[in-house]
Every structure is written in C-alpha cells, then in structure tokens.
Amino acid sequence: MKVLGIETSCDECSAAVVEDGEKIISNVIATQIPFHAPWNGVVPEIASRKHTEWIYAITKEALDKANMKVEEIDAVAVTNRPGLLGSLLVGLSFAKAFAWSRNIPFIAVDHMLAHLYAPRLIPSAKCEYPFLGLLVSGGHTIICRADNFDNITVLGTTIDDAVGEAFDKVAKFYNFGYPGGAVIDKMAQNGDSSFFNFPMPSLHKGDHRYDVSYSGLKNAVINQLDTFKKKSGAHTNEDIAASFQKTAVQILLRALLNAAEDTGITTIVAGGGVAANSYLRSCLAEQKNLRCIFPPQDLCGDNAAMIAGIGYHYLARGERSPLNITASARVTGFKKKYP
C-alpha cells in the first residue's frame, strides 16, 4: 500500500510517499525557519499562511520524486494533533480533499506517536519493541515506553517548560540567534561548560523519578548568572551556552537513565528537534549498556514520512478517520500519565 503522508503541525511543510509502512519512496520537507527568524520564534499566523502557499507544491514534489501519479496513491495519512491549530488545519484540509477526490482511505494520526515510529523507517536500525522513547522538542519533553506503534505509555514529562523551549528562551534573552537550540549547540562547542554550575531540579525521587523541569534552570541562566559562577574572570556567551547546555542535557539524562534502570529496557529512541543536540548524542553514546537510536535529521525533526509510516499500520488493520475529523492542539495517543 502506497500512502501519501502530509505534515503541517508547526513550521515544517512536508509530504511523503511511503510503501507498506517501511519503504520511504520520497520525503520532501520545506522549513519556514527564515520567515520566523526575525521574530525569534514561530509566528502561528505566518506558519499557517506559508503552509497554505506551499502545500500543493510540496505534495507535487513528493509525487514527482516518487515518480508517481496521483492515481497511484492508495491512501492518505495526515497529522491532526498536536500542533498549531491553523497550521494543522491546512494539512488536514488538503489531505481530506485529496482522499475524498480520489475516494481512497484516509487516516488522521498523532504527531508525537509518529516521532516514535520514525526509527522503524530506517531498516539498518532494526528497532524492535519495547524501547524507551525520548521525545524532546520545543513543545514537548516526554520519556515513554513503546510496546507497539500505538501502545505508548508515558513514564515522565516536564512539569513546566519543554527542554527545547528552555533552549529557545535562553537564546532569545541573550540574543544568540534563532533557532535557539541549534545556535546554542554550536556556540557551546567553543565554550567552557564548567564556567557556571547551574542547579539541577530536585525531581529524582518517588513519583518524579522520570520527570524533568526547566524553569529553574532557565531562571538561573537568565537572572542569576553571578550566583552560579564557578570561575574567576570574564565569561563569554559561549561559556553561558556550554554551561546551560550541559545542565539541560544532564536533567534529561538523569530521568532517562532512571527509566532504563527501572524498566530494564536498554534500547532508547530519540525524536524531536532537541534530539539533534550534539552533546546529548555524545553523552548517550557513552552509555555502553544502552543502544541509542538517533534517526537522521530528515526523520528526527518534523517530516511526513513518519506520518505515512505510522498511518499505514492503522489503515492496514482497517481503521479510517471520518472526513469531518478536526484538528486538536493536544496529544491524545499516549496511555497513563500524560496530563
């Protein structure tokens, strides 16, 4: 079954064709970063307008790259949650119209579950269930257990800011540039990560063993630099970036390693924009008892291949979404603890 995937939940406009949930035939991703950069963050109105302008051309490009005609598509899968409502509605409406006009099956899927499906699209990764998922983006920080593509249990979340949000807010405050996470990652390579010793949240016991918190770290970096200074002399912006990044990653690692220890699961799959972080990757690579799978950039960030990939499995077991289904800002596909 050749599934057309459509993804417009945030600031990436993407369309893909995936066969039988595993073979990527094409995966076209257009980023809107230059259009949001002047505002140091995603502007929802700009995002939905750009999706409206681009969605047809991006889908056409995905079909062209797959060397396929519209008639050869067997079904359509689209993200309808979570995300920016205006952005989601563009992809959702387009996908509905495509499916309706061709009279082919249509399924709306959860973007966060799809991130956990992404490594299944890399044949060499041999990513078997169960694994622990680390979903880290500008809007979410989730540590979960995946027993199947649609059987995901949340073990821990952030109790305040998402990790990517903390990167973005620190970068915005110090005018480091946009997008904050990628800029801080690069600056940190020339900084001294022990110049400041920023505080870890006290969240490592009982019910909070797998939870994280970033508001304390963010406040320390923005408002209390002098309090946490460990070295004499003047600091550079790179020192702030490196010290912040070190603590931000250690907060994630502590919760993740607790989850690995308690569940005995040794495969970790990372997804979302922050999974691109080089320090996070090198720290996890040092954990010799764990196997950490980081999808390549085009499958790690937002992309339509993961939507078509997971969509296939719902479609294959006969599930369909009604054409009057709407978009939602909330995650709905997880079991248990998700608020």
Q: Which of 4, 6, 10, 58 binds ligand KG4 (CB under 6 A)?
A: 10
* Min separation Cβ 83 and ligand KG4, Å: 7
CA distance 235 to 259: 36
Beta-bridge mates of residue 111: none
Q: Which among 116-124, 195-203, 268-276, 329-337 is the span making contact with ligand KG4, rule CB under 6 A?
A: 268-276
Query: Among ligand KG4, Zn ion, none, what binds residue 105 when CB lies within 5 to 8 Å by partner kind?
Result: none
Query: Among Zn ion, ligand KG4, none, what binds residue 110 when CB lies within 5 to 8 Å by partner kind?
Result: none
Q: How far is CA 58 from CA 44, 82, 215, in A?
A: 20, 21, 38
Residue with smaller CB distance to Zn ion, 115 or 246 = 115
Residue 274 touching ligand KG4 (CB under 6 A): yes
Residue 179 touching ligand KG4 (CB under 6 A): yes
Residue with smaller CB distance to Zn ion, 168 or 302 = 302
Residue 6 touching ligand KG4 (CB under 6 A): no
Residue with smaller CB distance to Zn ion, 150 or 302 = 302
| DSSP symbol at 154 | E
Query: Among ligand KG4, Zn ion, none, what binds residue 274 when CB lies within 5 to 8 Å by partner kind?
Result: ligand KG4
Q: Which of residues 128-147 bind ligand KG4 (CB under 6 A)?
A: 137-139
- Helices (H), ranges, 103-162: 111-117
Residue with smaller CB distance to Zn ion, 105 or 164 = 164
Residue 168 touching ligand KG4 (CB under 6 A): yes
Residue with smaller CB distance to Zn ion, 211 or 302 = 302
- 101 and 318 Cβ atoms separated by less than 8 Å: no
Backbone angles phi, psi at 123, to 5 degrees: -55, -40
Q: Which of residues 180-209 bind ligand KG4 (CB under 6 A)?
A: 180-182, 185
- Tell me the one-letter amino acid at 84: L
- Angle CA(174)–CA(180)–CA(185) in degrees, nearest 5? 100
* Min separation Cβ 170 and Zn ion, Å: 20
Query: Among Zn ion, ligand KG4, none, what binds residue 181 when CB lies within 5 to 8 Å by partner kind?
Result: ligand KG4
CA distance 212 to 255: 7
Residue 11 touching Zn ion (CB under 5 A): no
x/- site string to Zn ion, residues 172 to 211, per CB under 5 A? ----------------------------------------
Number of other residues whose CB lies within 10 A of the CB of residue 299? 24
Residue 12 touching Zn ion (CB under 5 A): no
- Axis crossing angle, helix 278-285 with helix 180-188, rounded to the nearest 10: 60
Residue with smaller CB distance to ligand KG4, 273 or 295 = 273
Beta-bridge mates of residue 19: 2, 23
CA distance 190 to 197: 17
Residue 7 touching ligand KG4 (CB under 6 A): no
Q: Which residues contact 120 (CB under 8 A, 6 or more apart)?
A: 21, 22, 127, 149, 309
| DSSP symbol at 271 | E
Query: Position of tokens 């997804």?
Result: 271
Query: Among Zn ion, ligand KG4, none, what binds residue 210 when CB lies within 5 to 8 Å by partner kind?
Result: none
- 292 and 268 Cβ atoms separated by less than 8 Å: yes
Token pair of 44 as six digits: 């929802």
Query: Among ligand KG4, Zn ion, none, what binds residue 295 when CB lies within 5 to 8 Å by partner kind?
Result: none
Token pair of 221 as six digits: 């970096």
Size of the site for ligand KG4 (CB under 6 A): 19
Residue 302 touching Zn ion (CB under 5 A): yes
CA distance 216 to 161: 10
Residues that bind Zn ion (CB under 5 A): 137, 302
Interface ranges with ligand KG4 (CB under 6 A):
10, 137-139, 164, 167-168, 179-182, 185, 272-274, 276-277, 301-302
